Amino acid sequence: MKKLKIILIAATALTLFATNSNAQVVVKKRLVDRYSLSYRPPRPSDKYFWVESEWVPQGKSYVEVPAHWAIAPHPHALWVPGEWRPHKGGYVWLPGMWR
C-alpha cells in the first residue's frame, strides 16, 4: 500500500511538472500549400494512407512538409488533415492527426 502511494505521488508530480512543447507561431497570412498539387505515387499497400502536406513551426514562420504515404498506427486509424485557424490577428496551423 505504501509503495502504491509513492508511485501515485510520483506520477502526479511528473504530470504537474511536465511541459508541453506545442509552440504556436502566429502568421499574418495563411501560407499556400506548394505541394498540394504534387504527384501522388502509387499506394505501396493497403496499410498506407495518404497524408496531405503539413506545416511545422520553424523560427517565426512555418516550413511545409510534403504529402506522403504513411502507415497507420493501428488498423482502424484514419488521417485527419491539419488546417489553418484564425488566432490573435493572424493564423496558426493545427496539425493533422491519426484518429
Q: Is residue 17 part of a domain?
A: no
- Domain residue limits at 67: 24-98
CA gap 25, 46 in Å, rounded:
35
- 88 belongs to a structural domain: yes
pLDDT given for residue 38 in this prediction:
61
8 falls within a domain: no
Residue 7, in any domain of the structure? no
How many domains does the chain divide into?
A: 1
Give the pLDDT confidence of 13-63 residue by residue, as tens digits.
Answer: 333 333 334 457 777 666 665 555 567 899 999 889 999 889 888 888 889
Q: Is residue 11 part of a domain?
A: no
Query: Distance (Å, rounded) from C-alpha 87 to C-alpha 43?
Result: 36
Query: Per-residue b/e over 56-71, b at no fewer than 16 CB within 10 Å?
Result: ebeeeebebeebeeee
